[in-house]
Amino acid sequence: MQKPSLPEGTRDFGPEQARRRAFIFDTIRSVFVKFGFQPIETPAMENLSTLTGKYGDEGDQLLFKILNNGDYLKAADAEVLASKNSARLVPQIAKRGLRYDLTVPFARFVVMNRHALTFPFKRYQIQPVWRADRPQKGRYREFYQCDADVIGSDSLHYEAELIQIYDEAFAKMNIPVTIKINNRKVLYGIAEAAGVADRFVDMTVAIDKLDKVGIEGVRKELTERGFAAEAIAGIETTLAAPSWEALRPVFSNSETGRKGLDELERVFQFLKKTRLQNAVQFDITLARGLTYYTGCILEVAANGVQMGSIGGGGRYADLTGVFGMPGLSGVGISFGADRIYDVLEMLERFPETLADTVRVLLMAFDEPTHAYAFECLCRLRAAGIPAELYPEPGKLKKQFEYAAKCNIPFAAIIGETEMQTGTMTVKDQQTGEQRSMPVEEWIEALSKQV
């Protein structure tokens, strides 16, 4: 016999957890639907060629590869095999991989289905993704993303809409959050203003850590990455700007930077037309790892909780370009359902109403009454009352214990007398109250309570 176990970074979900997760998914989905997004689903696995090169070198490392079927080593090049070079061997023995996020599969979907889609196309997708990351708190190897993206329009009102979605969904889930916004063009402007436009990516990686390591840490990191002292000084003064409006003069020589500011301004203009329940905050240090973002970038942090971001997204000018469909702009967001779960648990904000659903447990004494009880069971269910019949007739003690453990609020005793009179004796497990009535009347009484 072997001891069962789970792969690192994966989890089972019991009934209570599964219900709570369903609550999260349902809440997010309802907001997506309200904002006009349509559901799609894509396969868990994609061709490796679809996935590789989309997430940077680190991302490629974190892809789960699926070994080819059959005698896959036979098909591999002997020389590559002998070289023991994994990077070279992988494409020869694995042609598929598990999806790393939902955005790239979505881009693939759009390209393949362009004939059937009407643009702008708004889709949502709630499915698991896999990353071969080292697991730790709030980080799993299998987790769900809940994505909403609009593709085929560069209107900034969608950015505002997506922020509204974040705001509304987290309000519904009772999690106070801060929605952070920045713009990749602003980051580029910083680099341009400091004369290090060619080192743009390195720079953003460094300043992304500002809130974590402080300005000293950023300075150190930039130095280590080989930035000149005057460039670092330039970056620092820009970061110190009190507001995004204050960046205008700094970006006098950066058209891209000014464009970024214009975009932010537009988004805030839209947002002024609505009332939000959470704060939207410009955060110049917000960078986000994914290389394909080109415009606004968003990230959501739960207030007062030690937890990485519980949502993120942004604008990508040309995501479908790599798949042969250039010029299609998209913007999207993602909810990290698993982290949201952890936050809700830490904050104890799950609704109490997510209880077990079975309302009545029927109990019988012997075969004849069990058969009659089954008939009653069917009638209850037909009336829409979630009911359950204890499988073995006999001792009530056992049956009552079962009802108590399963949190079933009503226990219906069905014996000789009940069978002959067409009644049920129902006990309210909470109050201990118990009385007999015809089955029909119980059905009526119990349906009202739901």
Chain residues binding RNA by CB under 7 A are 3, 5, 7-9, 58, 101, 131, 133-141, 143, 145, 205, 208-209, 212-213, 288-290, 299, 308-312, 334, 336, 338-339, 365, 395-397, 400-401, 403-405, 411, 413, 415-418, 425, 427, 429-430, 432, 434
Residues 6+ apart with CB under 8 A from 85: none
Taken as a whole, the chain contains a residue count of 450
Cβ 344 to RNA shortest distance, Å: 13
Cβ 439 to RNA shortest distance, Å: 14
**Cβ closer to RNA: 235 or 250?**
235
**Cβ closer to RNA: 286 or 328?**
286
For 49, other C-beta atoms within 10 Å of its C-beta total 11
Token pair, residue 256, equals 């891209």
> Which residue bears the tokens 């329940």?
277
Cβ 402 to RNA shortest distance, Å: 8
- Which DSSP symbol is given to 394? S
Cα angle at 389 between 383 and 393, to 5 degrees? 145
**Cβ closer to RNA: 89 or 117?**
89
Cβ 263 to RNA shortest distance, Å: 20
Residues 6+ apart with CB under 8 A from 322: 53, 54, 107
**Cβ closer to RNA: 159 or 254?**
159
Nearest to 259 by CA among 357, 346, 187: 187
Cβ 60 to RNA shortest distance, Å: 11
Cβ 288 to RNA shortest distance, Å: 6
Report helix, strand or coil for 407.
Answer: coil
For 405, other C-beta atoms within 10 Å of its C-beta total 8
**Cβ closer to RNA: 257 or 336?**
336
Cβ 446 to RNA shortest distance, Å: 17
**Cβ closer to RNA: 114 or 386?**
386
**Cβ closer to RNA: 41 or 401?**
401
Nearest to 314 by CA among 101, 123, 188, 159: 159
For 148, other C-beta atoms within 10 Å of its C-beta total 30
Q: Is the distance from CB of 305 to CB of 173 less than 8 angstroms? A: no
